[in-house]
Amino acid sequence: MRPSLPFYLYSDWRSVGFAFVATFAVILPAAGKSSRFGDAFYKKPFAPLENRPVWMHAAEKFSNRPEVKQLLIVISPEDKDDFDEKFGGNAAMMGIEVVVGGTERSDSVQAALSRVRDDIDFVAVHDAARPCVAEEWIDRVFAAAEQTGAALLAAPVTATLKRVGNDKIIRETVPRETLWEAQTPQVFRRQLLLDAYARRGTELATDDAQLVERLPHPVTVVPCSAMNLKITSKDDLRLAAAILKVLPKPTLLSAPHPFADDHLWR
């Protein structure tokens, strides 16, 4: 990451002044068991995707952003030595700190959160298993978090959802009008996420927003494309390879207002 001052000097014919730029830390959880991935050799964050491991595709979307001042990847204890041997050099070159994770995803995030520097304003948590995130989507969720304190990328549910019994018989068709599928990055003011994790207790949470919702604190959804998929199965890895070929390229213009109606995510 490029060091830079936490402010920039701006000037125009009306004034000369300082504007403070928010700073971000990014946590990349990669310490899961990949039990649904079903590969005897690779866990999904380390599986090869277009000549690089999955985690590296996710990390490189953040490592050159000027506002990202700290990048941490979370690796399981049993994978730590292997990761250091295979990818330790890459992580060092990208300025990525390696943290040992825990049993649950929340344990892993909490381990990294304890390493986030006090001078950081916002913390973004992005699954290392989501390699297809586009820079412009990151722009939008970062901007939304700066405005609201808590925001995440999500895609509206478009399929018909059924609640099904163990006998595989449909019990209910679930109204989908207000349902969204949460993605990552999930981005929070640092102290807010610290407060949420301090109150976590033993309750399970499959994402970080749940813990902030419980405070309670409002969390804003930033609409995103279903192309920001999480690799869970081997089929998802094949899909990701195809998506990387058509992913929106970074735009030179600044990202539109995160709540603009003219989303490109459709």
Ligand X SMILES: Nc1ccn([C@@H]2O[C@H](COP(=O)(O)OP(=O)(O)OP(=O)(O)O)[C@@H](O)[C@H]2O)c(=O)n1
What Cα–Cα distance (Å) separates residue 138 from each residue in 41, 124, 189, 248?
31, 10, 15, 12
**CA pair distance 45, 30, nearest whole angstrom:** 6
Q: Which is nearer to ligand X, 55 or 143 (CB)?
A: 55
Q: Is 108 in the site for ligand LQXTBERG (CB under 6 A)?
A: no
Helix (H) or strand (E) holding 244: helix 234-246
Residue type present at position 115: R
The entry of ligand X, ligand LQXTBERG, none that residue 155 binds, CB within 5 to 8 Å by partner kind: none
DSSP letter for 115, please: T
Q: Is 184 in the site for ligand LQXTBERG (CB under 6 A)?
A: yes
> Buried (b) or exposed (e) across 31-70, using 16+ Cβ within 10 A?
bbebeebeeeeebbbbbebeeebbbbbbbebbbebebbbb
Q: Which is nearer to ligand X, 29 or 53 (CB)?
A: 29
Tokens representing 99? 């943290």
Q: Is 236 in the site for ligand LQXTBERG (CB under 6 A)?
A: no
φ, ψ of residue 240 to 5 degrees: the values are -60, -40
**CA pair distance 93, 192, nearest whole angstrom:** 30
Helix (H) or strand (E) holding 55: helix 54-60
Q: Which is nearer to ligand LQXTBERG, 116 or 231 (CB)?
A: 231
Q: Which is nearer to ligand LQXTBERG, 147 or 206 (CB)?
A: 206
Q: Half-sphere exposure of residue 70, counting CA atoms within 13 Å on the CB side?
A: 24
Q: Is 206 in the site for ligand LQXTBERG (CB under 6 A)?
A: yes
CB 176 within 8 A of CB 162: no
- Contact with ligand X (CB under 6 A): which of 59, 91, 111, 127? 127
Stretch of residues binding ligand LQXTBERG (CB under 6 A), selected from 87-95, 112-120, 176-184, 247-255: 176-184
Q: Is 128 in the site for ligand X (CB under 6 A)?
A: yes
Minimum distance of ligand X from residue 39's CB (angstroms): 11
Q: Is 105 in the site for ligand LQXTBERG (CB under 6 A)?
A: yes
Task: Give residues in contact with ligand X (CB under 6 A).
Answer: 29-37, 45, 74, 101-105, 107-108, 127-129, 230, 232
Sites of contact with ligand LQXTBERG (CB under 6 A): 105, 127, 182-184, 206-207, 230
